[in-house]
Chains A and B, each alone.
Chain A
Amino acid sequence: MIHNMAEKLALLIANDLNFNKLQRAKVSYGLEIILGGLVKVLVFITVPMILGIFNTTIAALLASGLFRLPAGGAHCTSYGRCLLGSLVTFCILGALALYLADFVNYISALYLCWGVILLSAVVTLHYVPVDCKAKPVKPAQRLRQRVWALGTLLVYILITLIIQLPPELLLAAGMGLTVQVLTLLPQGHTLMERMDNLLGLIPGLKK
C-alpha cells in the first residue's frame, strides 16, 4: 500500500515537474521511506503508550533499530507484515522487560546487557552486513558497515557507563538487541520466514 501510494505520488510530481525516469525513481524511493517511516513512528508511539509500556518498548526498538542500520538482517516480504510483526514483537519485549525488572537489580541487568552487547560484537565480526536482494551492499562498503555496527555497540556500552539506566530499560535494550542479532543468523532468517508466512495468513496482509 505504501509502495503504491509513493509511486502514484511520485508520478504526479514527476509529470508536473517534467522529471525523467531516474529522478522519478529517486522521488518514489524517498517518498516510500518517508511515508513508511511516518506510519511506523505514529504506530510505535500510540500503541505502546496505550498499553502502558512506552519506555521499555522504545528502549528495545532503539537498541535494535540503531544497530540494524549498519548490520542489516532478515526481512519480511511486505510493509504490513513488517509493521504488525515488529509491533507485536517489541510490545511483548517491552512488557516482558517491565515484568522481569521486579526480579532483577541494576548490576545484574547491566551485566546482562553487556553480555548481549559482547555477543552482538562476536556475531557482527562473523556476519555483518547481512543485506537483502532489495538493497544489496557493495563489496567496498562491507567493511565500513561492519565498523559502523561495532561503533554502535561501543556507543551502547558508553551510554550504560555514563547514564545509570533503570533495570527495565537495560533489560528491554538487551532483549531488543538480542532479537536483532537473531535476525542476522541463518536460524533467524528461518524464523523470520515462518513469521512472515504466518502473518500472510491474515487477509489484509496478503502480498
Chain B
Amino acid sequence: MKRLLFGLAANLAMFVALLGIQPTSWGAWYQPEVPHELLE
C-alpha cells in the first residue's frame, strides 16, 4: 500500500515537474530551482 501511494505521488510529481519547465515563471514571485537534468 505504501509503495502504491509513493508511486502515485512520484508519478504526479514527475508530471508536474515536466509541465513545470514549460512556463517562464510560475504565477508567483518565487521560482523553485529547476534541476539541471530537467533542462537538458
Q: A residues touching B (Cβ–Cβ < 8 Å)?
A: 3, 9-10, 12-13, 16-17, 19, 21-23, 25-34, 36-37, 40, 61, 64-66, 68-79, 81-83, 85-86, 128-132, 134-138, 145, 183, 192
Contact between chains at B30 and A78 (CB < 8 Å): yes
Which residues of A lie under 8 Å from residue B25 when comparing CB positions? 68-69, 71-73, 75, 131-132, 135
Contact between chains at B34 and A69 (CB < 8 Å): no
Contact between chains at A68 and B27 (CB < 8 Å): yes
Contact between chains at B30 and A36 (CB < 8 Å): yes
* 7 shortest interchain CB distances as A-B pairs: A65-B27, A30-B13, A82-B30, A72-B24, A30-B17, A25-B35, A69-B23
Q: B residues touching A (Cβ–Cβ < 8 Å)?
A: 2-3, 6-7, 9-10, 12-18, 20-21, 23-35, 37-39
Known contacts A75-B31, A81-B30, A86-B29; A25 and B37 CB within 8 A of each other: yes
Contact between chains at A16 and B3 (CB < 8 Å): yes
Which residues of A lie under 8 Å from residue B35 when comparing CB positions? 22, 25-26, 28-29
**Interface residues of chain A: helix, strand, loop or mixed (majority):** helix
Which residues of A lie under 8 Å from residue B10 when comparing CB positions? 13, 17, 19, 23, 27
Which residues of A lie under 8 Å from residue B27 when comparing CB positions? 61, 64-66, 68-69
**Interface residues of chain B: helix, strand, loop or mixed (majority):** helix
Taking the closest CB of chain B, its distance from the CB of A57, in whole angstroms, is 14
Taking the closest CB of chain A, its distance from the CB of B22, in whole angstroms, is 8
Which residues of B lie under 8 Å from residue A65 when comparing CB positions? 27-28
Contact between chains at A192 and B29 (CB < 8 Å): yes
B7, B13, B30: which has the most chain A beta carbons within 10 Å?
Answer: B30
Q: Complex: how many Å from CA A78 to CA B10? A: 24
Taking the closest CB of chain B, its distance from the CB of A152, in whole angstroms, is 11
Which residues of A lie under 8 Å from residue B12 when comparing CB positions? 30, 34
